[in-house]
A and B are shown apart, each in its own frame.
Chain A
Amino acid sequence: MQQLPELEVIGSALQDNVRRLFKGSLAIRQIDTGSDNATEQELAALTNAYYDIERFGIHFVPSPRHADMLLVTGPVTRNMAEALKRAYDATPHPKLVVAVGDDAIDGGIYKGSYAVLDGVSQVIPVDYQIAGDPPSPLVIMQSLLAILDGAKKAPKQKGQS
């Protein structure tokens, strides 16, 4: 399969960062807080044969207990606010929270609706944001790389859980 050359470059840089910060293993728990599933499609594409993010030491896990990073999508509906808070509390330190997609950053196209809380940061502390509606897999990877480049050392805990 023909692959974008830049994918390899981003990937190996990403892998270096995962090694440096997470001992070579970054576990991601994805949380859907009422998203329109556009972002989910792009995230799911990360694990397909083309992007294959697993080869860089990044994998998705079934429980926030296992996670190092929470990827939150969606504008946070009122019903999901409590669930999001609990998932955040359930994740052991060190942990990163990344809001993926415009909806998750500030509500996006749903902003101002009575049904949503306008973004993840209204509910739990967000460390980084990945813009786009939805961001493509390559953008997500580039942003992850930027995020990990920015995080000089493994993030330490902020609030009391």
Chain B
Amino acid sequence: MSYLLWIIQIMFVPLVAPLGVGLINSLKARIQKRRGASLLQPYRNLWKLFYKDEVISRDASFIFRFAPFIAMGVTIIVGACLPIFTSTLSTPMSDLLAVVYTLALGTFFMALAGMDSGSAFGGSGSSREMTISAIVEASFISSILTVAFLSGTTNIAVMSAGLSPGSGNFLIPIVLAFAAFCIVLLAETSRYPFDNPDTHLELTMIHESMLLEFSGKRLALMEWAAANRLLIFSILAVNLFFPIGIAHDQAVLSVLLGISSTLLKVAIVYIVLAVLESTIAKYRFFRLPDLLLVAFVLNVVAIGLVL
């Protein structure tokens, strides 16, 4: 049983992530009164890209060639460390800081790959991405830290087991930290109002402009990794702060309940994202620190209220 659970745990993020992107795109199309592509379109895109040849810039070095594998690998590792449907699968890998910095390793190589080809777009994309990820990191760590102090462990896989939801004095710090984490989620996954994932204008891109040089398999891995990242942050948002339905044992029924509740909660996050992206405008780049400062203040208050 445990092996089976581990297989589900490891496969969950990479397999479900493209569906999530499909869901967001299709919802956005609906809001625009279009029918849009099918939910499965991201899988088709990836599959097609895997069967295309590649053109690699002659200026690019091994960093460019290996960055997609590291970016993808990092999201698989972190995906396997999350409390996806149960709080019983725990390894020392699930440490809060290990997860944050492993994700940062992926960003590090992605940003380097953006600079590697020497294109003007890639470099400015890397600069913007690193600017945002540099100032968002403090909020990322401290929002999860609030939950860690509540549950007495920084192991995110088992964190939810230490929480007793509904208890009154937990609620305010959890809600504050969750609000802060939502801002972190938008920043780290390059969504509105930080970045426009659908843009074709190089000048306004942040994340996408680092990918302009990638083609074929490497592009597929980069896009897949971005989808995984979105799912990872969504799972963290719902299962750390509101671990309702998550299994605390390995019985078949509670695991099934865990999986379905996670899918439901993540779907809600994606629906909110789609609505958000259809209704608000992108922020000016230099207004983003204000938003991140808000996240930071929320976190400080949340941690202060915990103890």
A22 within 8 A of B: yes
Say yes or no: A55-B52 contact (C-beta < 8 A), given A49-B33, A65-B213, A66-B215: no
Contacts from A to B (Cβ < 8 Å): 1, 22-25, 27, 48-49, 52, 54-55, 57, 59-63, 65-66, 68, 89-94, 157, 161
Query: In whole angstroms, how far apart are the Cα atoms of A61 and B47 in the complex?
Result: 16
Point out the residue from A52, A59, A62, A93 that lies within 8 Å of B35, measured CB to CB.
A52
Shortest B238–chain A CB gap in Å is 29
List of A residues within 8 angstroms of B33 by Cβ: 1, 49
List of B residues within 8 angstroms of A48 by Cβ: 34
List of B residues within 8 angstroms of A65 by Cβ: 55, 212-215, 219
Shortest B75–chain A CB gap in Å is 20
Query: In whole angstroms, how far apart are the Cα atoms of A52 and B47 in the complex?
Result: 22
- When the two chains form their complex, are residues A93 and B29 in contact, meaning their CB atoms are under 8 A apart? no
User: Which 3 A/B pairs are nearest by Cβ-Cβ distance?
Assistant: A24-B44, A65-B215, A25-B48
Q: 21 A–B contact pairs at CB < 8 A?
A: A1-B33, A22-B48, A23-B44, A24-B40, A24-B47, A25-B45, A25-B49, A27-B48, A48-B34, A52-B36, A54-B36, A55-B34, A57-B38, A62-B212, A65-B213, A68-B52, A90-B55, A91-B55, A92-B216, A94-B52, A157-B53
Residues 203-238 of B contacting A (Cβ, < 8 Å):
205, 208, 211-216, 219
Residues 85-118 of B contacting A (Cβ, < 8 Å):
none
What count of chain B residues pass the 8 Å CB interface test? 33
Chain B residue at minimum C-beta to C-beta distance from A93: B53
Shortest A62–chain B CB gap in Å is 4
List of B residues within 8 angstroms of A157 by Cβ: 53
Say yes or no: A25-B44 contact (C-beta < 8 A), given A62-B200, A63-B212: yes
- When the two chains form their complex, are residues A66 and B219 in contact, meaning their CB atoms are under 8 A apart? yes
List of B residues within 8 angstroms of A54 by Cβ: 29, 34, 36-37
- When the two chains form their complex, are residues A62 and B55 in contact, meaning their CB atoms are under 8 A apart? no
Point out the residue from A49, A57, A94 that lies within 8 Å of B34, measured CB to CB.
A49
- When the two chains form their complex, are residues B55 and A59 in contact, meaning their CB atoms are under 8 A apart? no
Shortest B272–chain A CB gap in Å is 22
- When the two chains form their complex, are residues A57 and B47 in contact, meaning their CB atoms are under 8 A apart? no
Query: In whole angstroms, how far apart are the Cα atoms of A91 and B205 in the complex?
Result: 21
Chain A residue at minimum C-beta to C-beta distance from B202: A62
Say yes or no: A57-B37 contact (C-beta < 8 A), given A23-B47, A161-B55: yes
B62 within 8 A of A: no
Point out the residue from A22, A55, A63, A90 that lies within 8 Å of B37, measured CB to CB.
A55
Shortest A157–chain B CB gap in Å is 7
List of B residues within 8 angstroms of A94 by Cβ: 52-53
Shortest B140–chain A CB gap in Å is 28
Chain B residue at minimum C-beta to C-beta distance from A47: B34
Chain A residue at minimum C-beta to C-beta distance from B55: A92
Residues 12-66 of B contacting A (Cβ, < 8 Å):
29, 32-38, 40-41, 44-45, 47-49, 51-55
- When the two chains form their complex, are residues A92 and B47 in contact, meaning their CB atoms are under 8 A apart? no
